[in-house]
Amino acid sequence: MSATGFADRLDAVFADRGHLCVGIDPHRWLLADWGLADDPAGLRDFGLRVVEAAAGRAGIVKPQVAFFERHGSAGYAALEEVLAAARSACLLVIADVKRGDLGTSVEAYGEAWLTPGSPLEADAMTLSAYQGVGSVTAPLALALKHGKGVFVLAATSNPEGAAVQTAVIASGAHSGRSVAAGIVSDVTEWNSSSGAAAGVVLGATVDFALYGIDLPLLAQERVPILAPGFGHQGARFGDAATLYGPAAETTILSASRSILSAGPSGLAAAIDAHNAEARG
């Protein structure tokens, strides 16, 4: 698969089915509301129902791995079925794993989620680069090799993240810039030097000017953006163009609870309504 495979597939999804990403987040309370048990069988049924509703309506799904992981190996077995079903349904799958480490450890995380044929194979994964973007070079390189994607956390939608992410870097190449801006810059530079299509996570509830994030540059470089914060967290899909400016063209609009709370019988209608709002 070519190095530009992920960018090409993402562009195709945007053109064909829009920018909506449907979260697969089997919270305990949601499982109860859906009449499902909080066990691996319930997780499997939940995930497969979301995949079925999303297929043909949305182009991207994002399983939150933590909800499966809490059930151990049986939870992972359920997740493997959901991942396989989603990819068979021609949905682009972003594994929301938020992994981060050093050297061979983070490389092994990348191999788990980005290797073709892996039981946990996804089209992209989320990464945490608290030790610096250089620490996650191995999964970035794996994504490039296999035509996969990565999204590095930069400016997240949770308010607790602001204190760290707006902190000013004291030394080095990004001295005087915010931590978030430094991460965005490093990812953009990686893409420019390698020909990859790595992306960043930029929450829709974030004041990008406060963080010093250059949205026009992201648009120019066509850096993919994963944007949580829509729906339940307060951001409106219809405001995406205003929030992300020219970078909206490469932004994935993620929603979970605002769709999933509609229940299994209301999923399709909720996805259609969110898509309609996102398209204006």
pLDDT digits (tens, 9 = 90+) for 221-236: 999 999 998 877 778 9
- Gap between the Cα atoms of 202 and 11, Å rounded: 19
- Gap between the Cα atoms of 239 and 229, Å rounded: 12
Q: Which amino acid is at 47?
A: G
pLDDT on residue 2: 39
pTM of the model: 0.96
Q: Are strands 149-155 and 92-99 parallel, antiparallel or unpaired?
A: unpaired
Domains of the chain in sequence order? 5-274 (3.20.20.70)
Q: Where are the alpha helices (DSSP H) in the chain?
A: 5-17, 28-33, 40-54, 65-69, 72-88, 103-114, 137-146, 162-165, 179-194, 208-211, 215-221, 240-244, 257-260, 267-279
Catalytic residue (one of 62, 98, 145, 148): 98
**Adjacent-strand bridge partners of 22:** 61, 255
pLDDT on residue 278: 87
| Catalytic residue flag (residue 98) | yes
Regions in the chain scoring below 50 on pLDDT: 1-4
- Gap between the Cα atoms of 18 and 237, Å rounded: 12
pLDDT on residue 3: 39
pLDDT on residue 1: 33
pLDDT on residue 229: 87
pLDDT on residue 231: 75
- How far is CA 274 from its chain centroid? 17
- Gap between the Cα atoms of 172 and 57, Å rounded: 46
